[in-house]
Amino acid sequence: MNKIYRIVWSTATSTWVVASEFAKGDARGGATRCMPVRRGTLASIVALLLGFAHPAWAQSLFWDGTDTNANANGGNGTWNTTTANWDTASTGGANATWTNGLDAVFGTGGTVTITAVDAHNITLGGLSYTFTGGTLTLSGTSPTINVSTTNNSTINSVIAGGSGLVKSGAGGVSLGGANTYTGITRLTQGTLILAN
């Protein structure tokens, strides 16, 4: 049984195909011509398939509420993509505006007014939060709301997205908005209240 394969360009289908080392093109018909892939090209293809060309979903921003110091103090504020009320680290980070698709980390509790934002994972630590207004779109694979033990938060904003929702952490969260997200809702720990 042949266990050696190569990736070749098929001019007939205009795609890369996997072929046995013994595969040959039909020289008379001229319909298919196999060209070996160079190592650099192969590495680029593999990197693209593995997602290295996409932004990393794991990057986090830390909520700084209404102040603009370099310590993520949390608290009240408006979550949008124009106000620099996020920090790049929990302490000592640089001020930043929200970038859709990143992970959001919230510390000290408060009331957050949302203006159409998109997040992958949300971590609610410290005291409780209430989210109001706008639409919070959950993106990425298995978007998760992680709520710490001492936290019972409420999300009255509409939650949208097509990847479901995972609730983790020992704390509780109440979903009070007229949510439109699709996919599986999974509870791995703590309490999840569907209030609407």
Tell whether 64 and 46 lie within a shared domain: no
- Which of 33-37, 65-69, 170-174 ranks highest by mean pLDDT? 170-174
Domain that holds residue 162: 60-194
More confident position, 48 or 88: 88
Q: What is the pTM of this model?
A: 0.70
The pLDDT, as a whole number, for residue 188 is 97
Q: Where is pLDDT greater, at 139 or 2?
A: 139
- pLDDT for position 29: 46
Q: How far apart are CA 11 and CA 13, in angstroms?
A: 6
Residues 90 and 29 in one domain: no
pLDDT at 3: 64
43 and 120 inside one domain: no
| The pLDDT value given to residue 55 | 41
Question: How many distinct structural domains can be found in the chain?
Answer: 2
Whether residues 143 and 66 share a domain: the answer is: yes
- Provide, rounded to the nearest whole percent, the portion of the chain with pLDDT above 70: 77
Same domain, 29 and 71: no
pLDDT tens digits for range 52-88: 433 444 599 999 998 777 788 899 999 999 999 999 9
Please check whether residue 55 lies inside any domain of the structure.
no
- Tokens read off for 19: 């072929």
Residues 11 and 102 reside in one and the same domain: no
Residues 182 and 116 in one domain: yes
Q: Are residues 98 and 131 in the same domain?
A: yes
